[in-house]
Every structure is written in structure tokens, then in C-alpha cells.
Amino acid sequence: MMSNATEEISDSKPIADLATLRLLANGRRHAIVQALTPQALTAKELARSLGTQPTKLYYHLNILEAAGIIRIAGERIVSGIIERSYRAVARTFVVDRTLLSASATEIADAQAVILDETAHEYRARGRHGPSDTSSIDPLIGRAYFRCSPEKLRAMRAQLYDVLFAADDVNDEMGDTACLAIALFTYDATETA
């Protein structure tokens, strides 16, 4: 019997190692986790929502399950085959810096994977064009500014709210969109 697709999940789960952070930075795996946050889905249902074949998802589902990012929400027998439904274990995943034994450089490199993956997805969009004519023009930009630590913390909190508000706007009939945010202190002499 399948479990209830609306079963509650945790609000957040800490990411305590670099390997988990790297695997979540993968665009396909991130899309899978996002799709499994509001409800449990079978591989067939998930493939339909992501516009792909179920066979292309099993590898990623196994990796995410082994890492504790998703779980099996239910099983049932369909035509003699076990069909599983999967669900994300939390609504958001937060890097737990206190548990990381990695150096600041290793953490920055792991987080940069997210930006690299976003750039890869954006380049692919340019090669293939937007999914339909109703897509909005992309908003890409950078701003350098001086700001007190208190104001930076307040801005970070606001950006965090914007980033995770995307979970509440999922519309099955709409375009898939990517929102990537990076806010960090910057020393121009470090890259000169």
C-alpha cells in the first residue's frame, strides 16, 4: 500500500558533509528533490513532471536515497513489479557549518558547484532556447556595494526568504524556472 502523499516532512535538514552538498548541486538531482518536496511520487510520475524517462531517474533516486535526502514513502505491487513512491525528507536543506570539518576553501568550492551547475543550465537554455514563448527574459546581474555586517545579515535573511518562497509558487502548468542567489563579502585584491 502506498503511503499518504501529503505526509509531513521536516522543515529543514542540515547538510553536514561536502559529498551531500555536491550531489545536491547537480541540476537533475536538485529538480528531483524539488519535485518530491510537496508530495510523494513514483518514478513514472516524477519522470512525467520533469519531462524525462523513468529509466533516467533511477540512478539519481538511488543516490539521493542513500544520502538521506529522499526516502521511500511507499511501495505497492503493479503487474508483479514493486513500484515505489519517493518523498524528500525536508523542505529545505541547509549547510551546517558547525558540523563541517572541511576548510573554508573546501566549503567555498563545494558551494561554487551550485553556481557552476547554474551556469551550465543557463548555457543549455541559450543553446536550446526558452521552453515556450511565455517565458520571461532572464534576469542576470551582479552588484558590488559596501554594507555594514548588520545590513548584510538582514539582506541575507531577505534573500533566503525569496529563495525558499519559490517552494510555495510551484505551478504544474507553468515553466520550470531557476533562481540562484549568491551573497558574500568580496575583496577585489584576492582575484587581481
Grid cell 549568491 in the structure block, residue: 182
List domains and CATH numbers for the chain: 10-191 (1.10.10.10)
Per-residue pLDDT of the chain (192 residues; tens, 9 = 90+): 344 444 678 888 888 887 888 888 787 898 899 889 889 999 999 999 888 899 999 999 999 999 999 999 999 998 988 999 999 999 888 877 665 566 677 777 777 877 887 887 788 777 666 555 556 788 888 888 899 999 999 998 898 888 777 766 666 666 777 788 888 887 766 655
Output phi, psi for 72, to 5 deg: -75, 120
Quote the pTM value. Answer: 0.64
